Structure 1
Amino acid sequence: MRILIEGRPGVGKTTAVRALADGLSDRTVTGFTTREMREGGTRVGFVLDTLDGRHGVLAHVDFPGPPRVGRYGVDLGVMEELALPALRAVSSRWDAGGGLPDPVVLIDELGRMELSCPGFQDTVRSLLEAPVDLVATVHVHRDPFTDALKERDDVEVIHLSQANRDTLPSKLAARLQSR
């Protein structure tokens, strides 16, 4: 199962992925989510949280970059040190003939900051070829990489909205638990 949860900023994509992770008690889950950093009510950056409990500041207004995404400098080392090892471990285990029991990979998100990491796109492509279930959030904005993923025959795109954001995680968890 390969699912992209597409939604506008602020609709609840991260919240949905975190709720989905909580609902997958019978599966091996790996991946990451991102969350805003705020100071005095103003967004100043983003933290990357792995599903195994590690975290680091992915982007911040005070980081020099490159790369820069909008007003944020991105620390590619956080992607390389935290996000990619867990993702690559899943795909490399399958390449080597091993595996994890019932792996589900959750990625929040396939966004401009994350995609600025050179190895991230290749890792996502590898995961799409591995026999693992993958759920990722994606922005609605046009991007060559994410547009190509949305067009794949083996990828289901689900649009997240205020109308379905509270029920979608449990529906997806039930689908993934029954596999």
Structure 2
Amino acid sequence: MKNLNILITGSPGTGKTTLVRSLCHSLKDFNPAGFYTQEIREKGKRLGFELVSLDGPGMILAHTDLPGDFQVGRYGVDVSGFDRFLKRLRLDNTQTGLIVIDEIGKMECFSDNFAALVYTALDSPIPVLATVAAKGGGLITAVKKRPDVEVVELTLHNRNELAPELERRIRNFLS
């Protein structure tokens, strides 16, 4: 049977991460492994992004206070910390029924280890639920063009219906 690899894309603010977090919760009986990204805010201002692991410690991926060679806009990206975070992930655990990657975006693509992890996950027999940037080249474009993925666009109009539909599809695949 063909594997189920779903990449959710959409404009910023449509709720991609909210959808992924909701699906992680509703599908917790399938032991999802991976991570999602959440904003770091202070006094209503976005200062950075934190990675939240589904099974271990998280990390700050990017922040306005992070110096370094890797920048996206006003955010410094901690690529070496991200690589250490990725090594701790156990996506191939025998109990894992769903791999979650939020997100395949410009910040994450600074890491060659991340690209390798994404390809390994998509090639595995474990279904992948990931978010992917709407725009970008390299890995972002490459994963969208794979014949074994379905790219689903999340919009303000379909976001309420998409969660139960994706949950049903994933449950049917895994059952």
TM-score (norm 1): 0.88
User: Given the superposition, is the C-alpha separation of residues 143 and 150 from structure 1 closer, same or farther in structure 2, using an over 3 Å criterion?
Assistant: same
User: Given the superposition, is the C-alpha separation of residues 63 and 90 from structure 1 closer, same or farther in structure 2, using an over 3 Å criterion?
Assistant: same
Partner of 2:158: 164
- Calculate percent identity across the aligned residue pairs: 40
Partner of 2:24: 21
Where structure 1 has 5 or more consecutive residues not aligned to the other structure, the ranges are 92-98
**2:116 is the counterpart of 1:113:** no
* CA deviation profile, 1:64-116 (whole Å, cap 9, x unmatched): 12211111111123322324431xx334xxxxxxx524520011100111111
Task: Give 3-state SS (helix, strand or coil) of 1:150's partner.
Answer: helix
Give the Cα separation in 1 of the matches to 2:162 and 2:154: 8
Task: Give 3-state SS (helix, strand or coil) of 1:178's partner.
Answer: helix
Q: CA offset at residue 135 of structure 1? A: 0.9
Moved over 3 A (4+): none
Partner of 2:65: 62
Give the Cα separation in 2 of the matches to 1:66 and 1:41: 27
Which amino acid in 1 is paired with 2:91?
V
**2:174 is the counterpart of 1:174:** no
Give the Cα separation in 1 of the matches to 2:51 and 2:34: 10
Tell me how large the CA RMSD over aligned residues is. Answer: 1.6
Which amino acid in 1 is paired with 2:146?
R
Q: How many residues align?
A: 170
Partner of 2:80: 77
TM-score (norm 2): 0.90
Partner of 2:139: 145
Which amino acid in 2 is paired with 1:13?
K
Contact 2:33 2:96 (C-alpha < 8 Å) held by counterparts: no
Match of 1:103 among 90, 97, 107: 97
Partner of 1:50: 53
Partner of 2:121: 127
